[in-house]
């Protein structure tokens, strides 16, 4: 039997609302914190197949979710390409200097070997799943390029002209990323992932006249390749506002994940049947129950006759109480 999230995307089903949460594995779960405390090196934890599989499965031990997302990180790609990546408490990721020669000359075989514990973790998770989808993921070329060049989160100190210095170098890096992102997702599919999500968390930092070159075109090539494996692709170009429908026309994702700035009713009219995922502001989960219910219902109502996967408009925040996740699942399950 095909799991329901896959069916919603593939067949455009509207009679059931699958549910999962971005960043459901990690951060807010006490059982994750316990493992994390004993494993101070985050990269090493991502490369521990047994523990990564365990963390991926933690959310479905507690909650009635339709999918598991593999516990890993988008920055495992720069790491696999030979750039130093560290995660500092209270700061976030810090990357080392970028050596273009090392990156552009990384061999496929070496990359796969370095990241092989991730694929092994997927095979372990797959064995423990029944009637649920297993989501593999990668960062989109633009978001990865941004971390690789900026060497930290672009939250505070972003200047696009400092990022895009040499056009020809950018082109080479993007082409390398297109290849390696597809390779990484293909390995995840071979290991057992049956849906892929592409996170373009910083797409919203691109000015409109650069969206095509840095976001749509590179992403569309990856999406086309993943679709050729008969695996659906969910794209999350966070923060692109009015450009969501242009993104869908250019990239043709199997499903589009919307952020919380998007009006659900309006977007539904514009996307002509492309399945939609997400939307709810993760900050709502920190507030009172009545507000949560009202907002969950806003999305359920807007998409009641449309293929829709319930999710948030960005990842679960670390402050979120596990009971709140449970509460939302109940509302979604009990909808008429």
Per CB under 6 A, residues contacting ligand CP3 are 22-27, 36, 42, 69, 71-75, 87, 92-93, 137, 153, 199, 201, 315
Q: How far is the CB of 202 from ligand CP3 (least distance, A)?
A: 7
Q: How far is the CB of 182 from ligand CP3 (least distance, A)?
A: 18
Closer to ligand CP3 by CB, 17 or 201: give it.
Answer: 201
Compute the radius of gyration of the chain from its Cα atoms.
19
Q: How far is the CB of 187 from ligand CP3 (least distance, A)?
A: 16
Q: What are phi and psi of 308, to 5 degrees?
A: -140, 135
Q: How far is the CB of 307 from ligand CP3 (least distance, A)?
A: 22
Question: If you count them, how many residues does the chain have?
Answer: 336
Q: How far is the CB of 22 from ligand CP3 (least distance, A)?
A: 5
Closer to ligand CP3 by CB, 26 or 278: give it.
Answer: 26
333, β-bridge pairs: none
Closer to ligand CP3 by CB, 85 or 174: give it.
Answer: 85
What's the CA gap between 262 and 250, in Å, rounded? 19
| Helical segments of the chain, H only | 4-11, 30-38, 42-46, 49-62, 76-80, 100-104, 108-114, 116-127, 141-150, 160-163, 167-191, 208-211, 217-227, 244-251, 264-270, 289-302, 322-333
Residue 99: partners with Cβ closer than 8 Å, 6 or more residues away: 82, 83
Q: 236 near 314, Cβ under 8 Å?
A: no
Closer to ligand CP3 by CB, 75 or 180: give it.
Answer: 75
DSSP state of 238: T
Closer to ligand CP3 by CB, 36 or 335: give it.
Answer: 36
What's the CA gap between 300 and 308, in Å, rounded? 8
Q: Which residue is nearest to ligand CP3 (CB)?
A: 26
What's the CA gap between 334 and 336, in Å, rounded? 6
Q: How far is the CB of 310 from ligand CP3 (least distance, A)?
A: 15
Closer to ligand CP3 by CB, 43 or 331: give it.
Answer: 43
Q: How far is the CB of 15 from ligand CP3 (least distance, A)?
A: 27
Closer to ligand CP3 by CB, 69 or 81: give it.
Answer: 69
């Amino acid at each position: 039997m095909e799991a329901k999230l896959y069916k919603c995307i593939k067949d455009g089903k509207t009679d059931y609302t699958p549910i999962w949460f971005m960043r459901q594995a990690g951060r807010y779960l006490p059982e994750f914190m316990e493992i994390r405390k004993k494993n101070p090196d985050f990269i090493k934890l991502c490369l521990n197949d047994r523990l990564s599989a365990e963390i991926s499965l933690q959310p479905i031990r507690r909650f009635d979710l339709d999918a598991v997302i593999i516990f890993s990180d988008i920055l495992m790609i720069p790491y696999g390409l030979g750039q130093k990546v560290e995660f500092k408490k209270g700061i976030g990721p810090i990357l080392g200097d970028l050596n273009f020669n090392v990156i552009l000359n990384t061999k496929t075989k070496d990359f796969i070997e370095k990241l092989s514990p991730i694929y092994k973790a997927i095979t372990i998770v797959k064995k423990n799943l029944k009637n649920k989808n297993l989501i593999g993921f990668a960062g989109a070329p633009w978001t990865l390029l941004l971390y690789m060049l900026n060497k930290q989160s672009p939250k505070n100190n972003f200047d696009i002209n400092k990022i895009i210095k040499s056009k020809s170098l950018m082109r080479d890096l993007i082409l390398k990323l297109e290849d390696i992102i597809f390779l990484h997702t293909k390995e995840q599919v071979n290991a057992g992932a049956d849906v892929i999500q592409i996170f373009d968390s910083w797409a919203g930092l691109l000015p409109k006249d650069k969206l095509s070159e840095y976001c749509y075109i590179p992403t569309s090539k990856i999406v086309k390749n993943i679709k050729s494996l008969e695996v659906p692709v969910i794209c999350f170009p966070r923060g692109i506002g009015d450009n969501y429908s242009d993104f869908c026309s250019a990239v043709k994702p199997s499903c589009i994940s919307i952020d919380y700035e998007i009006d659900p009713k309006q977007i539904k009219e514009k996307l002509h049947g492309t399945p939609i995922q997400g939307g709810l502001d993760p900050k709502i989960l920190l507030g009172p129950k009545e507000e949560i219910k009202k907002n969950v219902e806003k999305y359920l109502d807007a998409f009641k006759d449309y293929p829709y996967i319930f999710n948030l408009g960005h990842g679960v925040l670390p402050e979120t109480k596990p009971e709140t996740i449970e509460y939302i699942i109940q509302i979604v399950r009990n909808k008429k």
